[in-house]
Amino acid sequence: MSEVIDILISASFWAAVIRIATPLILATMGELICERAGVLNLGIEGIMVIGAFAGWMAVYQGLPLWGGVAVAMGAGMLFGLLHSTLTVPFGLSQHVVGLGITLLATASASFAYRLMLPEVTSPPKIEPFQPLDIPVLSDLPFLGQAIFSQTALTWAAFAMAGAVALVLYRTPLGLAVRAAGENPAAVEAQGLSVTGLRMGAVMVGSGLMAVGGAFLTLSAFSSFFFEMVNGRGWVCIALVVFGAWKPGKAVLGAILFAAFDALQIRLQQTPIGAVLPYQLFLAAPYILSILALVLMSRRAEVPAALMVPYNKGER
């Protein structure tokens, strides 16, 4: 037990929590926007992979880091366009299209990698985002290291979560997006385009997912590996449910999951880690997340028209 307390009071633990939570927050916000508009985007896992790859490759080819972020976002939006074209105007199964997008995006990253770096055995490194040095705050004892030692992309992620909440709840656009996910007929009856709203939401959401993936290559690590997304996309889908489709709660969920993850990594290196099999530690964040999901999402209000294609003129 004392090992756990030691970990919890160390500044590096909290720095790790925020770092691990960043891609989850970005991609969860992306998924949340899609689902609020009524589209389940199971392409998230693949879109994160393509984002990680495209951002890294752009920077490796000489673009600045923010240029890499923009390229990742663009790549994500492109796959979002494909997803939403198939699921919104054509009304195809969101499950099948989403899984197809995940396979296609993952394979595209792999294909482009082989095409662009044919002779390379280990992926080249880039110079990633550096921790932002904030005057005064970064020099604070404990807090300075625990919280104010993050890269610009992390700050951007948290700002983005705030922006998503603000747009969804405080603007006419957000109201229209939420209504498209609740009762598209109501949106249509007001002369707004359900198709436009849903496609726009899926594209913006997919862009955010891709930036979440790009955080891994441009900030957390300095290179690209095929397995690096490693199921984070699926975790984000669970986090949306955990957060009851509300941005604030979803961010909390991402931080909670990240804390479990950071904790298990550190626990493996303690005497407890020598006793218990390491697989148990790896599984712990997922098991705890499932438990939290069950407890938290009981009274969640699912967008009523989630996964229901809307066909104009059909009753």
Partner 1 sequence: MTAEEKAQVVLRLDGITKRFGALTANDTINLTLRQGEVVALLGENGAGKTTLMNILFGHYVADAGGVEVFGHPLPPGNPRAALAAGVGMVHQHFTLAGNLSVLDNITLGTKGLWSLGSGKSAARAKVKALSRDFGLVVDPGAKVGRLSVGERQRVEILKALYRDARILILDEPTAVLTPQEAEALFATLRRATALGLSVIFISHKLHEVMSIADRCVVLRHGRVVGEVDTHTTDKTQLAALMVGGELTLPRAEARTPGAPLLSLERVSTPDRGAVPGLKDVSLSLCAGQITGLAGVSGNGQAALADLIAGLALPASGQLALRGSAVVGWSPRVALAMGVGRIPEDRHHTGSIADFDLTENAVLEAYRTPRFSRRGWMDWRAARRFAEELIKGYDVRCPGPDTRIRLLSGGNMQKLILGRAMAPDPAILLANQPVRGLDVGAIAYVQSQLISARDRGAAILLISEDLDEIMGLSDVIHVVSQGRLSPAFPRGSVAVADLGLWMAGQGFEGGRHAA
Binding site for partner 1 (CB under 8 A): 170-173, 175-176, 178-179, 182-183, 185-192, 301, 303-304, 312-313, 315
Q: Are 180 and 194 in contact (CB under 8 A)?
A: yes
Give 119: exposed, middle or buried? Use CB within 10 Å, 0-12, 13-18, 19+.
Answer: exposed
- To 10 degrees, what angle do helices 152-170 and 172-182 make? 80
Residue with smaller CB distance to partner 1, 107 or 304 = 304
For residue 11, the tally of other CB atoms under 10 A from its CB is 15
Residue with smaller CB distance to partner 1, 137 or 173 = 173
Question: Smallest gap, in angstroms, from Cβ of residue 145 to partner 1?
Answer: 37
Question: Smallest gap, in angstroms, from Cβ of residue 194 to partner 1?
Answer: 11
Question: Smallest gap, in angstroms, from Cβ of residue 101 to partner 1?
Answer: 26
Q: Are 209 and 267 in contact (CB under 8 A)?
A: no
Q: Are 158 and 23 in contact (CB under 8 A)?
A: no
What tokens were used for 12?
């590096």
Residue with smaller CB distance to partner 1, 65 or 88 = 88
Residue with smaller CB distance to partner 1, 185 or 265 = 185
Question: Smallest gap, in angstroms, from Cβ of residue 103 to partner 1?
Answer: 31
Residue with smaller CB distance to partner 1, 125 or 170 = 170
Q: Rounded to the nearest 10 degrees, how much is the dihedral formed by the CA atoms of 34, 53, 101, 313?
A: 40
Q: Are 214 and 54 in contact (CB under 8 A)?
A: yes
What tokens were used for 230?
């490693």
Question: Smallest gap, in angstroms, from Cβ of residue 91 to partner 1?
Answer: 18
Residue with smaller CB distance to partner 1, 63 or 175 = 175
Question: Smallest gap, in angstroms, from Cβ of residue 181 to partner 1?
Answer: 8
